[in-house]
Amino acid sequence: MIFPSSTFKIYLATDPVDFRKGMDGLAAHVMRNFDLDPFCGAFFVFRSKGSDKTKVLMWDGTGLVLIYKRIEGRGFVWPKMQGGTVTLTKAQFEALFEGLDWGRVATAHYTHPKIA
């Protein structure tokens, strides 16, 4: 299991990508289709045409890292195909990676206390 720190940005591509693409092809896809920098340290999550496979691309400071996961059973829960990306929280990413319904994970909004 991989757990990004809560300081990392996590982008989920809503449309399926060609899963024959490797690191370089997915990095080019990020630059060309999302106008984002694949070398910024963010996590980029891609889906296959079926619901059972995902690839995660990220730059760790020394090189590109590609994680491939095929899940058994009903597959991953994906958002509606709409083009572009959806930003996930760390908790949502962890739920997605485990095959849970990440959309049901609540996102907490914290306010910092004012100086008393």
Q: pLDDT at position 5, please? A: 55
Residue 110 lies in a domain: no
Q: pLDDT at position 74, please? A: 85
**HEC per residue, the chain:** CCCCCCCCCEEEECCCCCCCCCHHHHHHHHHHHHCCCCCCCCEEEEECCCCCEEEEEEECCCCEEEEEEECCCCCCCCCCCCCCEEEECHHHHHHHHCCCCHHHCCCCCCCCCCCC
Residue 17 lies in a domain: yes
Residue 89 lies in a domain: yes
Residue 114 lies in a domain: no
Residue 22 lies in a domain: yes
pLDDT, tens only, 33-83: 999 999 999 999 999 999 899 999 999 999 999 999 999 988 898 888 888
Burial of 43 (0-12, 13-18, 19+ CB in 10 A): buried
Q: pLDDT at position 101, please? A: 87
* Structural domain for 57, as ranges: 10-104
Residue 49 lies in a domain: yes
* All residues at 6 or more sequence positions from 70 whose CB lies less than 8 Å from its CB, including other chains: 52, 53
pLDDT, tens only, 18-30: 999 999 999 999 9
Residue 2 lies in a domain: no
* All residues at 6 or more sequence positions from 99 whose CB lies less than 8 Å from its CB, including other chains: 71, 73, 74, 75, 76, 77
Q: pLDDT at position 18, please? A: 95
The count of domains in the chain is: 1
The pTM is what?
0.83
pLDDT, tens only, 74-110: 889 888 888 889 999 998 999 999 989 888 876 554 4
Residue 112 lies in a domain: no
